[in-house]
Structure 1
Amino acid sequence: MTPRTPKIPHGGDYNPEQWPEEVWDEDHRLFTRAGIDTLTVGVFSWSLTQPAEDTYDFTVLDRVLDRAAAEDRRVCLATGTAAVPPWLAKKYPEVNRTDFEGRRHRYGRRHNFCPGSPAYRRLSTALAGRLAERYADHPALLAWHVNNEYGGACYCDLCADAFRAWLRGRHGTLDALNEAWWTTFWSHRYTDWDQIEPPSALTEHWRGPDHTAFQGITLDHHRFTTDALLGCFLAEKEAIRAHDPDTPVTTNFMGTYRPLDYHRWAPHLDFASWDSYPPLDAPPTVPALAHDLMRGLKDGAPFWLMEQTPSTTACRDVNPLRRPGELRLATFQAVAHGADAALYFQMRASRGACEKYHGAVIGHAGRDDTRVFGEVAALGEELRTLG
């Protein structure tokens, strides 16, 4: 069930907390000019809305949502749980992931949580519940956006124990597991569940995650990771549903991202959504395949194009500016494949850190005479006339 709207939603990720509040007036003036009617808010706002374990502060989010409602715009409200706040990582160090090489990370970056951490599960679920309790009846609320671009794996002891428990549930007996993995090869036959180690650079892999000595254990670990992260999603969705039984809930996928089985997730999403960032030299069949995958997840139901760049992608890889007309072409390709929304990352460029050079509808100078803004505005008008 995609959100019911009178037209294809047009807008995207909006992080006004990164800018002084006096800039917000100009943002909304430009949003109106560009036909922006939908804002994705709060994707990375955990440290803002919960500055300490026993403290919640919704002051900024209140103003953002109230302003959106006053401007007759709708909000896809994120739970903000894809990046843990520094206080959480400091107080509960087990929430930091252990990587493929066996290194326990310290605080930093994003997508930095261990899905097996009880502290993460408890606090992320509590935050989702508090957000739903506060905003379930807000006039701007259009959809819920849980976490963000789920991915990655953790190799800590908590996750290793969870993997062994998952294997018991899947295979039942060690004899069945040994048969499935063909462990007579290289003297790998297991005689106790505790002997099983997650496949990593320290165990079955060499030359990175794509080279494994035992395909069975690696495949099962991918399946386990899918279920572990899905468990995090379901916990947040359940917390939302306790206060809001009706508003559609989604999380944004990443097309043909291999480590997760999106078909396992599909029954639990009210609608599918994904972030489209094909290399600019990729043939159009690359995003076409991903669009069809997203539509197929829900048996042909429409999906949301949750993110695409209006111009450049420059947070991890540096890509050239999209050619004139390319944004329109990419957007209508998505619509033709079943997209019920055309959203961007991001609405106004970040003021700092690695996404400060990522494309945006509104650049740092806030001008409305750029080619990118003109193309977004023209597209917004076309989407309006489509009805």
Structure 2
Amino acid sequence: MSVEIIAPSNSPEKPPENLTLESTLQDLAVFNFQVETSSLAKDVARLFQAHPLLPGVILTVNGEFLGMISRRRFMERMSRPYGVDIFACRPIMALYQIAQTDILILPGVALIVMAAQRAVQRSPEQLYEPIVVQLEPQVYRLLDVHQVLVALSQIHQQATWYISELYYNLSVTQSELEAANSKLQSANSELYRLANSDGLTQVANRRCFNEYLEKKWQELGEEAAELSLILCDIDFFKKYNDTYGHQAGDACLQQVAKTIVEAVNYSAGEVSPERLVARYGGEEFAVILPRTTPETAVSIAEQIRVWVKKLEIENIKSPVCSCVTLSLGLASTVPRAETSKKDLIAAADRALYQAKDAGRDRVILDFRLEKVIPE
């Protein structure tokens, strides 16, 4: 095991000076702290003790990235009753399997302002989990969220000072003011796009899905227009990951997401600004189709299923087919006061499970939009 701090002429406690809106995660100090999953938990504990600034551990299997466990989660598990007795002399993998959670992975070229936004959007229990920074293929480092927030504060101060100087300096030309405002607008637009997109697949994320569905539910309810929803699930994706590895799994998710977007837009004849493709969960995707009849939605879902299957991504462990396939469930309704968007999601989810129970690699439409009874 080795610990190395990769820093652009600054320590990890203090971000570099002169940060701007264009500054990226590569401009900050990152930790290279990697251990094999076979390493004993007690050895990892010694390294944490010897290096108090380390925010976590990158876990590898034969040198390949597996995941990350933060100092906070590691210490929390080890400090529980009998935690040391249970884990100290066992491989760190045993503790990781129990304590693992979703991790935020961002490319090194990601803007600091975007990274800060993505970090604070996480659930409260994940708020202080370090960010995994991918500097290049197979090169992963750790970044403390506190450092990102401090850097963001510096950027904000710099930007505020710069704009103030521009407005109050009589020698500033109109073109300089417009250029400065243009930079701010571009940065804000990019920040909004990144905050609403899934980092791996580049389609909309779950947060964006929820907000857009709520917006369209209200809008189409007033118009008495139809709203359709498709839920897509990659068949036997866990078997795929176990067989080919997580990197191949990530590549598969990216290909499937790209194909779903292409299939949805192809059926419209052009890029449709109203139709939204989102990553709904791990291997699940959702498609929101405003002003779309059930018949058209079924046609779109079948188009998605066929196009993904034609990718011929090998999945030898799938009992259904030798390549990656999708199961799709969909529902359609005209939003009304007596129902809610939760009812539409529940109906599409019910149809998805019917597709799985019927043998997978198929499309099922749920005609029953039953009201969800609150618990």
- The interval holding the TM-score normalised by the smaller chain is under 0.3
Q: Report 1 or 2 for greater relative contact order, CA contacts < 8 Å, sequence distance ≥ 6.
A: 1
Bigger helix fraction: 2
| TM-score (normalised: structure 2) | 0.25
Structure with greater proportional strand content: 2
TM-score, normalised via structure 1 length: 0.25
